[in-house]
Amino acid sequence: MSYCINLDCPQPKNPPNVTHCQTCGASLHLRDRYRALRALGRGGFGATFLARDEALPGHPPCVIKQLRPSADAPHILEMARDLFQREAKILGKIGNHPQIPRLLDYFEINQEFFLVQEFINGNTLQQEVRRGGPFSEAGVKQFLSEALPLIQYVHNSGVIHRDLKPANLIRRDEDKKLVLIDFGAVKDKVSPVQPNSSEQTALTAYAIGTPGYAPPEQMAMRPVYASDLYAIGVTCIYLLTGKSPKELDYDPTTGEMLWREYVHISDHFAGVLQKMLEISVRHRYQSVESILRDLDLEPYMDSLAQNMAFPANPGRNNSPNSGPNSSDLRDMTSPSGGTSSPTSRMAAAIRARRERATRTGAAPPAARDRMMTNGPQTAGRSGKVSGGSGGSGGQRGKLTAEQIKTAYAKGQRDFSMQNLPGIDLQKVTLAGANFNQAQLPKGNFQGADLTGANFGRANLTEASFRSANLGRAYLTNTNLQGADLRGANLSYASLGQCNLRGANLCGADLTGARISLDQLALARTNWSTVYPNGKRGLMQ
């Protein structure tokens, strides 16, 4: 089928091979190249069409956005042209990201404006909620872990999206990644916004936004980066409740959205959403980084960076099936060792800031406790080992990290009852080692292989096991209060009677582990924690 793009045509549907509309006579070949197939959306401002590019082999699909100003006044036409060119410039600038549609062409014909973009096949988040119902807390956190780095990329490019909402986020069928669409095309001149138009994007002079999703400063034509963060907060409420902003009540005094009674989420997550939804820009989150930090998503930013990789790819074609392969996880560091994506750079910045705050004491005590940061580690002091080299059971001489590694390489496995505060054993292999009843507070075992190790009755308060392998380790009656176990493998580990008060298990794998729900309730977990039953997400 061919589709007539004349907005005044009463019968736009035509047979597939005709060159002109059989009803109004308009050409069905736009710029002698693009043939519209069907309408995707239509309004007073113009329309959006699914089309195909008949000038390219295979006639790949594309999307044509048509803008026809609703008035003939010169200043309206000039404003429309300015915003049209602005959107084309923005898409040309940031459209090399695989989660933003590429700009393929743009042009003006008879005071009508056209953008041709990459076609994204999939459902919007609005469609997902309408078909599958509201998201869980874990589902919304997963959404944020995908959407926030993408928004950070947009902001780093000097762009404020200004129309973030579920209808402008598409879950691409091919790889299930979110794609952000609609970068500022003129929607309509609405002054004032009509009550029944709250689902339509409004333009008052140069203020673009969807009422309910756009915060007050944006509708007052003073948008800032934090305006997008408010819109993402409202999007989260929609995902949790299935209710659009117009279906919720507002505090008549403050103008704040009243949403809390409709959701069942943790107090911590509710606090994050509340700060995203602050009416006052001053009290709202100012950056994506601060939200990620409060959500404790920083441990996973490196893996997110891999999923968000967008290296230059001149060979990328126009097919909607030419997007990135979600299983193709690339190393996001350059040969020189520097990070090569905004997401991985963001993770490094978060870590550096946390470390500085901890070293200088700049962060308040409550914030430092919440961060669960690894401070600078103190290596175990050297000392003589009674009874010969190595650390045998019952020996209490202080070992250095190097002595432990050397002894282990020579076959020694027993380091029980050693007094080793602050020992630095990161990224070492100590599988099967015996640290029974050892004193290891603030020890650094980050990234270490401790498979099957025995830490029974050991003191591991505030120790770091971040990304360590503790599979089948024995940790019964161990004191892990305040320990950092983010991303650690604890599958089939024995954790009976282990003190996990304040321990950070965000992203840890506890598949098959021996641990009680009461113990887990004392620890910090998040949407990426895998519980003993193999399920991922927050405890119910």
Active site residues: 163
Query: CA-CA distance, 52 to 453, in Å (whole number)?
Result: 61
Q: Which residues pair with 169 in a beta bridge?
A: 180
Residue 285: φ, ψ to 5°: -55, 140
Name the nearest CA neighbour of 198 among 173, 234, 170, 158. 234
Residue 47 and residue 68 in contact, taking contact as beta carbons nearer than 8 Å:
no
Name the nearest CA neighbour of 284 among 293, 296, 292, 274. 274
DSSP labels for 4-73?
---TT-S--EE-TT-SB-TTT--BSSBTTTEEEEEEEEEETTEEEEEEEETTSTT--EEEEEEE--S---
Q: Which residues pair with 124 in a beta bridge?
A: 170
What tokens appear for 35 in the block?
């043939």
Query: CA-CA distance, 321 to 172, in Å (whole number)?
Result: 10
What tokens appear for 361 in the block?
């004491």
Query: CA-CA distance, 139 to 428, in Å (whole number)?
Result: 35
Query: CA-CA distance, 211 to 188, in Å (whole number)?
Result: 13
Residue 347: φ, ψ to 5°: -60, -45
> Tell me, what DSSP letter sits at residue 104?
E
Name the nearest CA neighbour of 474 among 427, 525, 505, 438. 438
Query: CA-CA distance, 167 to 265, in Å (whole number)?
Result: 24
What tokens appear for 235 in the block?
């999007």
Task: Give the Å distances, CA to CA, from 232 to 43, 215, 356, 427.
Answer: 25, 11, 29, 38
Question: Which residue carries 């961060």 as its tokens?
Answer: 371
Residue 67 and residue 112 in contact, taking contact as beta carbons nearer than 8 Å:
yes
What tokens appear for 254 in the block?
């403050």
In this structure, the dihedral spanned by the alpha carbons of residues 122, 123, 128 and 130, taken in order and rounded to 10 degrees, is -150
Cβ neighbours for 65, distance < 8 A, ≥ 6 positions apart = 46, 48, 114, 115, 116, 117, 185
